[in-house]
Chain A
Amino acid sequence: MATMAQSISRSAIGLGLFAVITGGTIALTQAVTKERIAEQAARAEAAALFEIIPESAHNNDMLNDTISLPDAAVLNSGETPSAWVARQQSDLVGFIIPVTATDGYSGDINLLVGITPSGELLGVRVTGHHETPGLGDRIDTGKSDWVYQFNGHSLANTPGKQWNVKKNGGEFDQFTGATITPRAVVKAVHKTLVYVREHQAEIRQSLGLPLDRGNRKQRSAVASHLPEPEH
């Protein structure tokens, strides 16, 4: 029995000793690098956002300046998604809404849609997708410039029928051989714009903007309710 106790204590102490040394090393490193890591993580998270609204274009802490979006089920992006808001001084530069397109070729396509207060697209970025490499993945900025063509479009300057790929009589290019993916992205972006228009009251309120001015402008822009694009 003595050997048993001996064996147990020897092993326990031996391993414990290693634990102290190794644990200490790790903990120390962690303590030293903690802040920088947090900073880097935040920066990485923001990278896509900053691509849509560059840091030069705003000066608020956009990452932490968020508003929650009401009735956002149509956007398919989480339970209570929130939009990021960019401001220059006290001016509102725009806000960025996360959207998910569910009708891609395979799996969900996660998008960020940046919109100016006046309803114009600041930019669209894909943050995650499972589309086929070589076909559907050209929605990625790394692979082609396709997503940039959304810049500047709005419900006002692009009628609802045009919110489709060229093949279906729309405004936007498709890729050769892969129409499903672009169509899904276009549809999602359009849906976002429509959502914003429909909820502009709440959004403006949470942004702290006066209701009337924008309201009027937007209403005129999308005076006629256009039918859903044909898919």
Chain B
Amino acid sequence: MWTNIIIAIAVLLGLAAVFGALLGFAAERFKVEGNPLVDQIDALLPQTQCGQCGFPGCRPYAEAINNGEAINKCPPGGEATINALADLLDVEPQPLDAEHGAAQAKRVAVIREDECIGCTKCIQACPVDAILGAAKHMHTVIESECTGCDLCVEPCPVDCIDMIVIEPDIRSWIWAPPVVLDKAPNEEPSATDARVIATDSQAETREASLL
């Protein structure tokens, strides 16, 4: 009996030692550094650089995600970003973590120029260098570069920076998806509903005028 046991152990030991050596060899021989995934994750983040995720900027959050951080902490990205991340990482999308704030309409910062004292605080705060101005001169936000992170609002000693919601205009307008009736529970569609279903952008207002 004991010989049998010893043979068994010896065989397994032999196998394991060989395999272990092989793996040890491979681990050293085929070592790689760096992770391309971070770049891919970073590419999906909105680059607002607002820090709401709890990381100083999008890239740090991308790195954190790569290390297992939850993907639902970026309010500017909102659902779209979460879905894209879920898709990339092949995990289930989760709803936005409320602790990090809610998704908001896109905004830009606008400085009320005559109140600005030129303290340059906002320049220091802006993560993308979208504010122009020299010390003691009034400052301006380059609208096209502003990410709407609102990081400049708080440091301003005279509170002269406003976050303005970007309103859609006729050139940025896009068609809304049709209103799908399917969602209305327990209701038989009537003739009037028929129009609502295929209605266009201003569903709400026009619906009101119709019904």
Chains A and B touch each other in the complex, with CB atoms below 8 Å apart:
yes
A73: chain B residues at CB < 8 Å are: none
Judged by a CB distance under 8 angstroms, whether B177 is at the interface is no
Q: What bracket does the count of chain A residues touching chain B fall in? A: 20 to 34
Q: What bracket does the count of chain B residues touching chain A fall in? A: 20 to 34
- A145 to B134, alpha carbons, bound, how many Å? 101
A28: chain B residues at CB < 8 Å are: 5
Chain A residues 1-30 with CB under 8 Å of chain B are: 3-4, 7-16, 18-20, 22-24, 26-28, 30
A24: chain B residues at CB < 8 Å are: 5, 8-9
A14 pairs with B20, CB closer than 8 A? yes
User: What 1/0 flags go to B12-53 for Cβ under 8 Å of A?
Assistant: 110111111101110111000000000000000000000000
- A8 to B28, alpha carbons, bound, how many Å? 8
Determine how close the nearest CB of chain B comes to the CB of A179; give it in whole angstroms.
52
Task: Output the nearest chain A residue to B24 by Cβ-Cβ distance.
Answer: A11
Which of B11, B13, B21 is in CB contact (< 8 Å) with A11? B21
Judged by a CB distance under 8 angstroms, whether A31 is at the interface is yes
**Most chain A beta-carbon contacts within 10 A, residue among B15, B19, B21, B24:** B24
Judged by a CB distance under 8 angstroms, whether B190 is at the interface is no
A7 pairs with B5, CB closer than 8 A? no
B210: chain A residues at CB < 8 Å are: none
Task: Output the nearest chain A residue to B11 by Cβ-Cβ distance.
Answer: A23
Determine how close the nearest CB of chain A comes to the CB of B187; give it in whole angstroms.
45
A12 pairs with B20, CB closer than 8 A? yes
A20: chain B residues at CB < 8 Å are: 9, 12-13
B28: chain A residues at CB < 8 Å are: 3-4, 7-8
Task: Output the nearest chain B residue to A16 by Cβ-Cβ distance.
Answer: B17
A3: chain B residues at CB < 8 Å are: 28
A15 pairs with B17, CB closer than 8 A? yes
- A14 to B15, alpha carbons, bound, how many Å? 12
Task: Output the nearest chain A residue to B15 by Cβ-Cβ distance.
Answer: A19
- CB within 8 Å for A12 and B17 given contacts A23-B9, A24-B9, A31-B4: yes
Which B residues fall within an 8 A CB radius of A?
1, 4-5, 8-9, 11-13, 15-21, 23-25, 27-29
Told that A11-B21, A12-B20, A15-B16 touch, could you supply 10 new A-B pairs with CB distance under 8 A?
A9-B21, A10-B24, A12-B21, A12-B24, A16-B13, A18-B16, A23-B12, A23-B13, A24-B8, A31-B1
